[in-house]
Amino acid sequence: MPRPREFDEECVVAAIREVFWDKGYAATSVDDLMRASGLGKGSLYGAFGDKHRLFLRVLREYNDTNDRVLRERLASASRAVHFVREFVHGPSRDSTGASAQRGCLLANSTAELATSMPDVAAEARRSYDATAEILTEAIERARREGDVDPGVDADQVAYAVLAAQLGVVALGRTGMGVGALASVAESALTRLLPSPGHE
């Protein structure tokens, strides 16, 4: 009975995500969002509420997708240790360095907004905890598969690996070359995940 929507909600969220990702929250105007999505202000506000709620929606979807992808990659990895290595090296896997410099929407948003928007901080924490959980599973599996020293406490190391990856992401934002970035990641990895033969 009602008039049907002329846009696909997911496409709009995706387009808007790119803008927030590129410019940050405060530097993005509602006009930018209208242009990127092709929607009028009325449609945007009707469907998503104000800028703040729209941003939170984008961020949550981004995090959920990331978590899902990580789980899938772990499930389909031949060896769990490859998954962990790929996770830390992620930011340096770019021939041009453009995506490395762009960083991670979650990391960027947390740094910009955690103080003034508690819900962003909470969402970030939730997502990081989920990631750490996946990493814990991966490290446990890698231990069983004989690729990681059995003495390591998977839960403890998981957060250290996560911190290292966040650090690599942060360094990537400075424009550090992907080669240097990869060697930082590698340096952290070899020490955080000692092979079984090393004792």
Work out whether 195 is an interface residue with a copy of itself (CB under 8 A).
Answer: no
Work out whether 30 is an interface residue with a copy of itself (CB under 8 A).
Answer: no
Q: List CB contacts of 146: < 8 A, sequence separation 6 or more.
A: 196
Selected from 107, 138, 139, 142, the binder of a copy of itself by CB under 8 A is 107
Work out whether 167 is an interface residue with a copy of itself (CB under 8 A).
Answer: yes
Judged by CB under 8 A, the stretch of 35-43, 49-57, 134-142, 188-196 that binds a copy of itself is 188-196
Q: List CB contacts of 105: < 8 A, sequence separation 6 or more.
A: 17, 20, 21, 58, 59, 62
The label of the residue with tokens 């947390």 reads: 110
- The phi-psi region of residue 154 (left if phi > 0; otherwise alpha if psi is between -120 and 50; otherwise beta) is alpha
Give me the least distance between CB of 121 and a copy of itself, in Å please. Answer: 5
Q: Other CB atoms closer than 10 Å to residue 199's CB: what's the count?
A: 8
Give me the least distance between CB of 173 and DNA, in Å please. Answer: 23
Which DSSP helix (H) or strand (E) runs through 8?
Answer: none
The sign one gets for the Cα dihedral 104, 105, 107, 108 is positive
Q: Other CB atoms closer than 10 Å to residue 88's CB: what's the count?
A: 25
SS3 of residue 145 by DSSP: coil
Residue 32 tokens, joined: 């930018």
Work out whether 51 is an interface residue with DNA (CB under 7 A).
Answer: yes
Q: What sections of 51-146 are H helices per DSSP?
A: 51-76, 80-89, 98-102, 105-113, 118-144
Judged by CB under 7 A, the stretch of 47-55, 57-65, 126-134, 163-171 that binds DNA is 47-55
Give me the least distance between CB of 67 and a copy of itself, in Å please. Answer: 15
Give me the least distance between CB of 135 and a copy of itself, in Å please. Answer: 12
Judged by CB under 8 A, the stretch of 50-58, 74-82, 139-147, 189-197 that binds a copy of itself is 189-197
Residues near DNA (CB under 7 A): 1-7, 28-32, 39-43, 45-47, 50-52
Residues near a copy of itself (CB under 8 A): 22-27, 101-103, 107-108, 110-116, 118, 121-122, 124-125, 128, 153, 156-157, 159-160, 162-168, 170-171, 173-176, 183-185, 187-188, 191-192, 194
